[in-house]
Structure 1
Amino acid sequence: MPSRRSHTKSRKGCLECKRRHIKCDEELPKCTLCRKRKLECSYPPNSNDLDSSQGSPAPRDDSESTLTPSDDLAIPNRMVEMRLMHQYLTSTHLTLARDGMSSHHLAMVIPRMATSFPYLLDSILALTALHLATVEPENHLTWLDAAVRYQSHSCSGMGKVLPVITPEHYEPAFMSSIFIMLFAIGFSGLSRANRPMDPIAAVLEVRTLITGCAMLFNRFSEVGAQVDLERWSEISGIQECLEIEPQPDNKTSDNGPLKLLELHKNLMNSLMRLLAVIDIDRSPNQPVYKAAWDSLHQAVGPWPRLGDHGGVISWPFLITEEFISLAQNGHWIARILFLHYSVAMRLWGNRWYVRDWGRRSVLAILNTIDEIPPHWAETISWIKEGVEIND
């Protein structure tokens, strides 16, 4: 009787080969298949090595390798990630959901996708850790540290994928870029709450990240690939991916619905008064001001919906480099438009990742002004009132 052939199936193959159910030759740093197809190649951790290409934090000494929500309990990294994923599935994803469909994708489709794409998993864990930093103030610094570490892993993973991106990465990279962008908005407020803010620098950062989101979304829309987010993208696009309804989990904002409705009404009225000033401006910059005003008016108008252009969060993506330069150089109409944008961000202050971004932005802009021209005094007074700045 012929002897049976020895079993040579790979037991420690890379994640990509496991996903495709094919044998992996386990070559390092990339297996042959991933190298030929220019895919990201990562291997699962073994029981003795929690630091893997999946994105677990790098080994550190005992005082740094654990997160300690209390002095009596040290939680290993795996338990931390379980805590973060539980938080995401039960709470964080709901703060991002627009409706039942997007909630389903955020809770079901995207986590499943993240099991094959480590950088997406890291971006989920980073944003969730940032969320926990807001809901567990007693562990604020602990979760903030975890958020930064996972964000670093996510950005590093994205950096390796983007130069040679293939269609299978379009969706996970797009969703990861959304989470990275929301992280950037939230981290500025959470980590630097008592520090001076550079509003234009913050806008430029968001502008760059939104540009990346749009590029990735256009990629998988143009190729017509079979995608898990197909129903979502048909209805929405990048703007709707960010559209969310007010959530009750942010305990830092005392802005009630009626107060926000009044602020929105006053903001729209102030924008109309500003338009009258722009219309009579005879400088060469008038077309630039008008274009910035148009995009801001369209962004603010549909509130609390985001509208067709992505709402106030996407306004940095809609303005021109020329307008940004005018604001940086202290041109007053550009400054006033930036201040109205900051007030508009105040409308989203009950989002845990926005919080007091608008108020801090107004303060930062006003701190750069030595003297307010008399004809802008009333507008500045209303803006300060709108974001609750008391002289």
Structure 2
Amino acid sequence: MPSGSRRSHTKSRNGCGQCKKRRKRCDGNPPRCLNCQRWGITCDYTVVSKAVEQIADRIFFTPADPAINLGVFPPLPFFDERHLRLLKHYTAYASLTISTELTLPIWRGNVLEEAKDHVFLMHSLLALSALHLYHVHNGEWKKYVTVANNEHESALASFRSSVGAIDCGNGNAVTAFSFLTVVFSLGLPVALGFTDTPDPTAAFTDILQVLRQAWCAMDNVLVGVEKGPLGMLVKNPRTDAGSCEMHPKGLKVLKALKRYNDNSDDTDANKAVYREALAQLKRFLIDLRDSPPTWANSLSWLTSVSDTFFRHLQQKRTFPLILLAHWCIPVYRALDMWFNVWAKHIVTDIWNTLEGDGKEAVRWAAEQVGIIPWESHPQNCLCLKCLPLCKGQPLVAPYTAT
């Protein structure tokens, strides 16, 4: 093309993902940009996450749920008009990014009720709301990342000053607070584009360690939480024994990993720890059946592995990293804006860290999340690029190891 004759285009740099894909200028107006309205599709500004695609239209384009009446919300000592706007944004938008259709009533109803009586939980909801506003506006509303951080710090300070012990009176609030703290901690790097997260694996495991410690401290009340209105958030998906067979080639993945561990030069004690973690990973994958996991259920494996395994994972020992990379495969397919982005960053970090046989052991995971160039994939590859996930396709795809 001759100098000075560069053709202009209508690609939007800061628009929604749908406009970017179609190289159309996006007006950037939530809850749904004009182009997406014309095309009749779900806009990033509506829900950002595909996880709520099925319920987005019903939420945004039908009358609001009469059960959600912020006009009668009891005043809190720190509440002002800004907080009310954030709370309204949470109920209408941000709550959708951490919910499925089944759990949405919990996050918009039960959790909100708990927040009326627990200031630390209210601050957490407001922090998520502000972070979501910053994210959907592509960082242009810079004040909201400051608001989000301030609300998050207020939540932590309020929790430390008001919760001396965890009991049946605050168990539900602390449960929701622990989840929201993890979501915020994971969501902040996502909103900032991972610019301040040079070591995503270490950052991720540090965040999960906080949740593991919280779960340990809540051990005496979790049974009550499971039986209460928030039970769906903490119950792991379980299938009846023998009721769900893993895809035979997916099972080949785990068999290859078992051989890797058995044939390694590690100590017998460490091999036993890793063998147990591998068995738990297998159970996690079987329980998923053919559906991508929700973000809460995704954490079930990492919150249930032994302290020794998790400590080795934080130390970046080879086999724990290999298992983490394979755990990332279904997480990468999870329909969640705050969570699934981490999967590719973690696998990339592990791929760049390991060498030799260890690196080869995570090749399949690297293919699945798109690290290895598509042109370099083997024939009959079943990664998301070569064979997108569709209804009925096994979540655990074939592994190339022999």
Match of 1:299 among 275, 284, 296: 284
Q: Which residue of 1 aligns with 2:258?
A: 275
Aligned residue type for 1:342: C
| Alpha-carbon distance in 2 for matches of 1:93, 1:265 | 38
Find out whether 1:316 has 2:313 as its counterpart: no
Q: Displacement of 1:360 after TM fit? A: 0.9
CA distance in 2 between partners of 1:330 and 1:111 (Å): 39
Alignment of 1:135-284 (within 5 A): 135-139=136-140, 141-165=142-166, 167-191=168-192, 193-194=194-195, 195-213=197-215, 215-216=217-218, 218-219=220-221, 221=223, 231-233=228-230, 236=232, 238-239=234-235, 269-281=252-264, 283-284=267-268
Change (3 A) 1:91 1:267: farther
Q: What's the CA shift for 1:123?
A: 0.7
| Partner SS state of residue 311, structure 1 | helix
- Name the counterpart of 1:59: none
Q: Give the corresponding residue for 1:97.
A: 99
Which position in structure 2 is the counterpart of 1:389?
Answer: 371
1:213-269 residue CA offsets vs partner (Å, 9 max, x unmatched): 4643742645xxxx8x95435x536136x99xxxxxxxxxxxxxxxxxxxx997664
Deviation of residue 178 (structure 1)? 1.8
CA distance in 2 between partners of 1:212 and 1:176 (Å): 10
Q: d(CA) in 2 for partners of 1:343 and 1:220?
A: 29
Q: 2:343 aligns with which of 348, 358, 361?
A: 358
In 2, distance between residues paired with 1:266 and 1:145? 48
Q: Which residue of 2 aligns with 1:332?
A: 318
Tell me how far apart the structure 1 counterparts of residues 92 and 321 of structure 2 sit (CA, whole Å).
41
Is the contact between residue 271 and residue 340 of structure 1 (CA under 8 Å) also seen in structure 2? no
Amino acid across the alignment from 1:144 = V
**Match of 2:378?**
none
CA contact (8 A) 1:342 1:362 kept: yes
Distance 1:109 1:98 in 2: 15
1:273 aligned partner, one-letter code:
A
Normalised TM-score (structure 1): 0.62
> CA 1:187–1:297 in 2, change beyond 3 Å: closer, same or farther?
farther
Aligned CA distance change for structure 1 residues 329 and 219 (closer, same or farther; 3 Å) = closer
1:345 deviates by: 2.7
Question: Which residue number corresponds to residue 128 of structure 1?
Answer: 129
Contact between 2:292 and 2:331, CA under 8 Å: does it hold in 1? no
Task: Say how many residue pairs are matched.
Answer: 286
Compute the TM-score of the two structures, normalised by the length of structure 2. Answer: 0.61
Q: Aligned equivalents of 1:337 and 1:239: distance in 2?
A: 23
Quote the residue 2:49 is aligned against: none
Q: Kindly provide the amino acid, as one letter, of the partner of residue 234 in structure 2.
A: I
Q: Which runs of 5+ in 2 are unaligned?
A: 1-74, 239-246, 374-402
Are the aligned partners of 1:207 and 1:316 in contact in 2 as well (CA < 8 Å)? no
Q: Does structure 1 conserve the Cα–Cα contact (< 8 Å) formed by 2:166 and 2:218?
A: no
Q: Give me the CA root mean square deviation.
A: 3.4
Distance 1:89 1:191 in 2: 23
Structure 2 residue identity aligned to 1:353 = W
SS at match of 2:84: helix
1:366–1:105: structure 2 CA closer, same or farther, 3 Å change rule?
Answer: closer
Unaligned segments of structure 1, at least 5 residues: 1-51, 57-77, 244-263
Paired residues of 1:122 and 1:150 also in contact (CA < 8 A): yes
Write the letter of the residue equivalent to 1:320: S
- Contact residue 293 and residue 331 of structure 2 kept, 8 A: no
How much has 1:342 moved relative to structure 2? 3.0
- Say if 2:134 and 2:140, in contact at 8 Å, map to a contact too: yes
Relative to structure 1, the CA distance from residue 105 to residue 236 in structure 2 (aligned partners, 3 Å threshold; closer, same or farther) is closer
| 1:251 alignment counterpart | none
Shift in CA distance, 54/362, structure 1 to aligned 2, threshold 3 Å = farther
Comparing 335-344 with 309-318, which one deviates more in the overlay? 309-318
Mapped contact 1:268–1:300 kept (Cα < 8 A): no
| SS of residue paired to 2:353 | coil
The code of the aligned residue for 1:127 comes to: L
In structure 1, the partner of 2:32 is none
Equivalent residue letter for 2:235? Q
Change over 3 Å in CA distance of 1:324–1:110 after alignment to 2? closer
Give the Å deviation of 1:358.
0.9
Contact 1:196 1:364 survives alignment (8 Å)? no
Percent identical pairs in the alignment equals: 18
